[in-house]
Amino acid sequence: MDNATFRDFGKAAIDFVADYMENIRDCDVLPSVKPGYLFDLLPPELPEKAENWQDILKDINRVIKPGITHWQSPNMHAYYPTACSFPSIVGDMISSGFSVIGFSWICSPACTELEVVVMDWLAKFLKLPQHFLHSSEGPGGGIIQGTASEAVLVAMLSAREQTVRRMKQTHPELSESDIRGKLVAYSSDQSNSCIERDALLAAVPIRLLSTGDDLVLTGDILEQAINEDIAKGFIPIICIATVGTTGTCAFDDLPSLGKVCNERGIWLHVDAAYAGAALALEEYKELRNGFELVDSLNFNLHKFLLVHFDCSAMWLKDANKVVDSFNVDRIYLKHKYEGQTQIPDFRHWQIPLGRRFRALKVWITLRTYGAEGLKAHIRKHITLAQRFEKYVLADPRFELITERTLGLVCFRPKGSNKYTTDLLNSLVERKKIYLIQATYRDKNFLRFVVCGMDPKPEDIDYAWREIRDQYSMLINEEKLLTLGKTDMGAIVKQLSTDIKISANKDKEKVK
């Protein structure tokens, strides 16, 4: 492919993406394919001769698009949002054109230095403590990791190695294997599954501590677990707190957790993958309480801040602890500017050696929207979730499980768990909107999250109509089964009446 052909292909690809985004509401959010669908549509071996880009682009429509779950659709309400924006896409495209591998400053100075700049921008935007800034006098700073999973693993491995070294000095009678065999980590039973998985990768047993009815991990709960383990001869190394749990977006009690960890010399990491962006809003300033006590934290720009996957921001109070844990230098990696205060070699701060120029898409996105635009985007998600919450509260057949948090509403049909599961199955079968369920106090509930690149109020209205109408169908089907020989015409007529009455009530409630 020469330069001229690349221009044609690239322009056609941009048009394809723009058309896709513009018409994404026309697509069912879930695909209709079955496992293995693609194997029958593609040849078993790569083509011998080159194919033209026009045919390849046609096949994206023919074989790839039918198998896509449309994460940028405003009808996607499962998991948490995966952010995207046109500036971010352009930034990634230019980054791919540069194709640098930025494991050290000399490999591409702009790659390292732009990351230092944007991580300080973000730290100030979120109003994090000064010691997390590269520009501060201390050894702290920020780095762009790929995912929250990577950030948590970096923290866990660093805490492990720092503890082993400290214990070898203070307890020379213990062998290294003895020390490693006694290590233990902590988190909440509400934390993301990646935390438990990272503990497996780090070869550190982790205790997922039970929380109270509020689903919040507190210092008292943690301290009790620590005392139990120390009495058994274990060595606590890290606690991973969560700001915005996966199930209900609960916030762990950072001030009390920080107090315990700081007194005990235990690393405190905060996973704020989704909710961390809300730190930028003054109306959520209470979320910042306790961050001055943490050793490291992460939040995903690819969840709430319009930068597409993968892009997880991580900050460290003392980056030297990570560098000391991961530093392996070879002569071919050295350069004469190594060790300068403001010039980190980020390969020492992460799991892989190589790294992409992610800072470019962050920089372009932040400049395109500005702080005001980013805050407005977060507030829009919150406002749309409030709109959905009002619909739930207005329908006596449904109940909220917890208070709405940011862009997440946790709700369920009243009654047995079967109603929730049947409703979810019906919604997934129709593929018009996508939700998932979770469990709270033995109750199954549905998680409705505002997602999509450009969600609008009418998308929330559409989702509620789909939920309401499908539930009306389900309960009327149940009535039919119960009544047995009851006249079908009367049932259908009553169902139609119920839906009309419900729709009118919704309109009045919204007004």
Catalytic positions, written as ranges: 192
Find out whether 104 and 345 touch, Cβ atoms under 8 Å: yes
Question: Within a 10 A sphere around the Cβ of 488, how many other Cβ atoms?
Answer: 10
The one-letter code for the residue type at 487 is D
The one-letter code for the residue type at 85 is S
CA atoms within 13 A on the CB side of 167: 23
How far separated are the first and last CA of the chain, in Å rounded?
57
CA atoms within 13 A on the CB side of 258: 16
CA atoms within 13 A on the CB side of 439: 6
414 in helix, strand or coil?
coil
| Helix 86-98 / helix 359-394 crossing angle, nearest 10 deg | 150
Strand boundaries in 16-97, DSSP class E: none
Q: Which two tokens stand for residue 480?
A: 């039919």
User: In whole angstroms, what is the distance from residue 390 CA to residue 402 CA?
Assistant: 14
Backbone angles phi, psi at 26, to 5 degrees: -80, -15
Please report, for the chain, how many H helices and E strands are present, in that order. 15, 11
What is the signed CA dihedral for 265, 269, 275, 279, rounded to 10 degrees? Answer: 60
- Tell how strand 235-242 and strand 206-209 pair up: unpaired
Look at residues 458, 413, 403 and name the one whose alpha carbon lies nearest to residue 435: 413
Question: Within a 10 A sphere around the Cβ of 209, how many other Cβ atoms?
Answer: 18
Find out whether 69 and 452 touch, Cβ atoms under 8 Å: no
